[in-house]
Amino acid sequence: MSESSIENDYPKMKGSRDYGLSGKSIICFAGEDWWIHHPHSKNHILKRLAGQNKVLFVNSITMGLPSMSNADFFLKIRKKLRSYARWLKRIPGGLYVMTPVSFPVYGNRVGRFINRWLLALQLRLVMFALGMRKPIVWVAIPSAADVVDMLDRGLLLYQISDKYDANEDSALSREIIRKWDQNLKKRASLVIYSGRKLFEESEVTNRYFLEQAVDFDHFAEKTTEVAEEVKSIPKPILGYFGFMDYVMDVELMEEVARLRPDWHWLLIGRKSNLVKLASPNFHYLGSKPYADLPKYLQHIDVYVLPWQQKNVFTSYGSAIKVREYLATGKPVVISPLYEYLKTPGVRIYRTVAEFIEAVEDALANDTERDRLARQSVVRDCTWDVRTQQVAALITRLLNNQPAVDVRAYEMRLKASQTFDEGGA
């Protein structure tokens, strides 16, 4: 989904595990920035695969800047410049992170031509330095369509996590984004969807539904240590973590804060200039290290996802944070995301009144049995499981076997009421 905001410093992984894929070179064109955003699916999976493979994570090359009138225009430029300064870094575990220098200008052929050659030159240099030959290329941002064929690559995977042509972060023509998307779908050995709605609406034959997962042990962690910043916040506390931008339903949040002034909101993450929350019961803490999150989350009573309901982009979202919420065992109240409409333990609201009613019910009636039930929904939906799935998919494709029996797979998905582990 939209960029999140918690510093990407994972808890250290315990040793190197065999996920069924080794000795390969993998380059991922990500839709997010390793140094800035809350870990997405690619971060979690590739960090695991890096134990036995050469992995290069390419930070988002963007789909162009928003218009200069956008309140976040200069904020985004500053963030990207900070990322450029790191260019290529190796992180613990062996994965390499690269922020290639590019010009976020895709609205004309000249700009795209310059970017294509600039990106290809940098990537070829890094591939040579790292000894990467015929890499598996994993594309998770449409703008990479212009450069993937300029690399001496092997397998091409295209992951679709969002409704890209509805993204409001870019002023780029929707026609260009759709063209990139269509080209990648045609050339990819496999098109991977991370959202149920995206998958169900797709007409691509070689597609696979790779559901989101959760770092279960991290979010289910029970700690007696509570961050000093939250100790003085009165209860009950509604909690949200992640980047706060145009997807947030600020009007609903302000109205709830007015009607229930004794409820306090704990907001963790970076905040867009588009989000202005004036009520005194909003407590904005900014970004916190991923590894430190349990110290902040223990103090929350109810997790909320107050996203805009009329926004097309968010309606296709699969919001990893909902699974992270469930892993804590705490009550979860969210806007009606298609991905989670049938998920046990999730309270759905559509109006301010329903939001208040759902939170009141959670505060008054939630039990330990409810908490355990919520955790059971996601306990086995871990990134280790997803990594094994991806490794199996890649192995089958490299052996010239079909990744999945699509017709049988679709029948299984339709019969599923909640998270389905799928199968490679």
Residue 32: which pLDDT band, with cuts at 50, 70 and 90?
confident
The residues that bridge with 244 in the sheet, in sequence order, are 271
Evaluate whether 34 touches 97 at the Cβ level (below 8 Å).
Answer: yes
3-class state of residue 80 by DSSP: helix
Q: Which of 50-59, 221-230, 266-275 has the highest mean pLDDT?
A: 50-59
* pLDDT value at residue 116: 86
Q: Read off the pTM.
A: 0.87
**Residues sharing a CB contact under 8 Å with residue 160, sequence separation 6 or more, in sequence order:** 181, 191, 192, 193, 194, 195, 198, 202
Helices (H) and strands (E) in the chain, counts: 15, 14
Please write the tens of the pLDDT for every residue from 262-308: 999 999 998 887 888 889 999 999 989 989 999 999 889 999 999 99
Please write the tens of the pLDDT for every residue from 178-219: 999 999 999 999 999 999 999 999 999 899 999 999 999 999
Evaluate whether 272 touches 244 at the Cβ level (below 8 Å).
Answer: yes
Q: Which of 299, 298, 248 is nearest to 269 (CA)?
A: 248
Please write the tens of the pLDDT for every residue from 394-417: 999 999 887 765 555 555 555 554
Domain 216-378 coded CATH 3.40.50.620: no
Is the pLDDT confidence value at 174 over 70?
yes
Is the pLDDT confidence value at 423 over 50?
no
167-173-178 Cα angle (round to 5): 75
What mean pLDDT value characterizes the chain?
A: 86
Q: Which of 331, 319, 305 is nearest to 253 (CA)?
A: 305
- Which amino acid appears at position 372 of this protein? L
Is the pLDDT confidence value at 156 over 70?
yes
Evaluate whether 126 touches 56 at the Cβ level (below 8 Å).
Answer: yes
Residue 125: which pLDDT band, with cuts at 50, 70 and 90?
very high
Residue 236 preceded by cis peptide, ω within 30:
yes
Environment class of residue 367 by beta-carbon count within 10 Å: exposed (0-12), middle (13-18) or buried (19+)? exposed
Terminal-residue alpha carbon distance, the chain = 25
Domain with CATH 3.40.50.2000 in the chain: 25-209, 216-378
Count of CB atoms situated within 10 Å of the CB of 176: 20
DSSP one-letter string for 282-306 = EEEEE---GGGHHHHHTT-SEEEE-
3-class state of residue 256 by DSSP: helix
Q: Is the sign of the CA dihedral 339, 341, 344, 345 positive or negative?
A: positive
Q: Which segments of 109-241 does DSSP mark as H helices, in order?
A: 109-130, 174-187, 196-201, 216-220, 228-231
What's the CATH class of domain 25-209? alpha beta
Evaluate whether 320 touches 334 at the Cβ level (below 8 Å).
Answer: no
pLDDT top residue among 136 and 421: 136
**Residues sharing a CB contact under 8 Å with residue 174, sequence separation 6 or more, in sequence order:** 165
What is the percent of the chain where pLDDT is above 90? 61
Evaluate whether 71 touches 114 at the Cβ level (below 8 Å).
Answer: no
Alpha-carbon distance of 102 to 32, in angstroms, equals 15
Alpha-carbon distance of 123 to 59, in angstroms, equals 12
Alpha-carbon distance of 357 to 377, in angstroms, equals 23
- Which amino acid appears at position 235 of this protein? K
